[in-house]
Structure formats: C-alpha cells, structure tokens
Amino acid sequence: MSLLLGGVLDDFPRLRFAFLESGAGWAPYWMDRLDDYYEEFKEHRLEHLPSDYFRSGQCFISCEVEEKTIPYVVQVLGEDRVIYASDYLHHDAKFPRSVALIAERKDLSRSAKTKILGGNAAKLFRLNG
C-alpha cells in the first residue's frame, strides 16, 4: 500500500514490482477497495486510481496453479499482469506438473496461458531486450 499511497510509482514510472507467494485471488478485491477510497487518498497525491497502477505494467502478481480465481484475476487485472509460480519445494507444490496444469486449463485463453507461463515474467525482469 505504501508503494501506491506514497507516490513511489509516480516518482519512478519505470519501477516494476511483483507480489509473490501470496496467490492472486485477493488482488481484485483489494483494488476495488482501494479505488472506493480513492477520494480519501487525495492527500497522498495519487495521479491515478490505485487499480490503474496495477494495470499500467508496473505491477505483477503470481498465481498458484490450482487457484479457481485465475480467470477472474486475468479479467480484472489483465492477462499481462499474472505470473506463474511453481511453488517448488513447498509440501503442497504441484511441480513438476504445474506448467501442464496451467496449459491444460480450459478457463484461460491460449494468449493468457502463454503470458502467465513465461511472457509476463520476461516483461517483469526485462528479459526481452
């Protein structure tokens, strides 16, 4: 929240960050709540709605492969914001089958799956040049 309310993302428009190890289902709710309170944040000098920062390309969020809310998160945040997380070494990890579990999902478009499984991470870490 400090990244948003402190104006960090306005001051550093090339800064990118990711929420990892937290799942993705909470993000649409959180963005909705922050946008509801936008007027109260005026003293924090936000240039945009809080949700706009998520959609701008500065914010990424990882998902767990079994999350039922991934399609909704993609709908709200955009398919360019969600990143695959293998959860490797956790006791409940689906790895090494986790990539296949995303690829086999019927509730995500081919484009969304391609981005979630690698394209978005490449953007986050600026691996495409």
List of domains in the chain: 2-124 (3.20.20.140)
Q: How would residue 129 be classed by pLDDT, with cut points 50, 70 and 90?
A: low
3-class SS string, the chain: CHHHHCCHHHHCCCCCEEECCCCCCHHHHHHHHHHHCHHHHHHHCCCCCHHHHHHCCCEEEEEECCCCCHHHHHHHHCCCCEEEECCCCCCCCCCCCHHHHHHCCCCCCHHHHHHHHHHHHHHHCCCCC
Question: pTM (2 decimals)?
Answer: 0.89
- 37-78: per-residue pLDDT in tens? 877 766 767 788 888 988 888 999 999 999 999 999 999 999
Q: Are 61 and 24 in contact (CB under 8 A)?
A: yes
